[in-house]
Amino acid sequence: MHYMTVPIFKKKYGSEAACLKALLEFRMNGDGLCFNPLCKASIDKYYHPLKGRKAFICSRCLKHVYPMAGSIFDHSHIKVSDWFYIIFKMLYSRNGISANEIHREFGFAYRTVFKMLHQVRGLMMDCLDFELANSVVEIDESYVLTGNKGYGRHFPFTRGRGSLRSTSILGIIERRGIAKFIVIPDTSATTIIPEIIKNVPTSTLIYTDSWGAYNQLKSLGYKHAMVNHSKYEWVDSNTGASTNSAEGAFSNLKRCIVGSWRNVSPGKLQNYVHEQAFRHSYRFEYDYGFEILMRCFPPLSDVYGEKRKAA
């Protein structure tokens, strides 16, 4: 098995103590020394768990350190080991998980779980800050059905481009690499082009379909090739251009929405698509990017450093 399984995960992060220790290690400085600048004892050697508290104490300078401070776990009544397992479930699932599923499995209130999952998605967003250099990307746009609050059941919604019922998403998908999904108000060139300029450097080769909004990419300095889907052609025989990876990534995203998230409000959609972008980008990692995600928390020295300055 090339990927981490649930039993292996449970063995590693099964107990509360193990999770707190892991969290401390994910968030300590690169040198692994005590956060007290006058102490500088090795955390590995001198930090011991404090009984009855979610904290560690340095046996040399007696500093108390709470590994959950300043993270999404702070002030949560859910156990850290449950948080860890729920996050792992989010990562290894192919079609996303719904808040109701977690509510039924653990018995937490639906609102609590809903909020937890969105906090994790917010953390994923901080993690998805990639540089695309000298790569091949496929850019495509698609529409997903979003919440219909405020419209009657018989409102004559149209389908596809420009429908009130659907929200547009721009996908920037690197071949065998990372993905970015951006929620956009419409699919006109004035909306799409600034997003591409912001996210894609000019050293990148871009493949798109023949939607007119992409016409000006060449004049902006990008290497750009199109595939003409209206000619029933999926790979351009001259340039090798295709948007098949993008179509695949979008179809996975839509399966999450149709299958698990069910009713997505347009306002929260960006948060949801970050989750799928994260899963897509780290799909080749042994632990589906769990450790990468855990290292996205601000380092503990940020939390304990500021207090020290104020004192």
Q: Kindly list the residues in this chain that would bind Zn ion in the complex (CB under 5 A).
A: 34, 36, 39, 41, 58, 60-61, 63
Q: CB of 199: closest distance to Zn ion in angstroms?
A: 43
CB of 29 to Zn ion, least distance (A): 13
In the complex, what is the shortest distance from the CB of residue 52 to Zn ion, in angstroms, rounded to a whole number? 21
The C-alpha atoms of residue 181 and residue 278 are separated, in whole angstroms, by 10
Tell how far CA 6 is from the center of its chain.
Answer: 20
The least distance separating Zn ion from the CB of residue 41, rounded to whole angstroms, comes to: 5
Q: What is d(CA 25, CA 19) in angstroms, rounded to the nearest whole number?
A: 10
CA atoms of 220 and 128, how far apart (whole Å): 25
User: Nearer Cβ to Zn ion, position 5 or 59?
Assistant: 59
What are the DSSP calls for 124-156, one per residue? HHHH------S-EEEEEEEEEE---TTS-TT--
Tokens of 268: 């929260």
Given the complex with Zn ion, which of 46 and 250 has the nearer CB atom? 46
Shorter beta-carbon distance to Zn ion: residue 61 or 145: 61
C-alpha 282/C-alpha 30 separation (Å) is 23
Tokens of 250: 């979008």
Smallest distance, Zn ion to C-beta of residue 56, A: 10
Give the distance between the most distant pair of CA atoms in the chain. 73
C-beta closer to Zn ion: residue 266 or 299: 299
Give min distance, CB of 58 to Zn ion, in A: 3
The Cα–Cα gap between 95 and 272 comes to 12
Task: Go through the chain and tell me how many residues it has.
Answer: 311
* Cβ proximity to Zn ion, 62 vs 133, nearer residue: 62
Instruction: Pick between residue 50 and residue 164 the one whose CB is nearest to Zn ion.
Output: 50
Question: Residue 30: how many CB atoms within 10 A of its CB?
Answer: 6
What are the structure tokens assigned to 97, written together? 């998980």
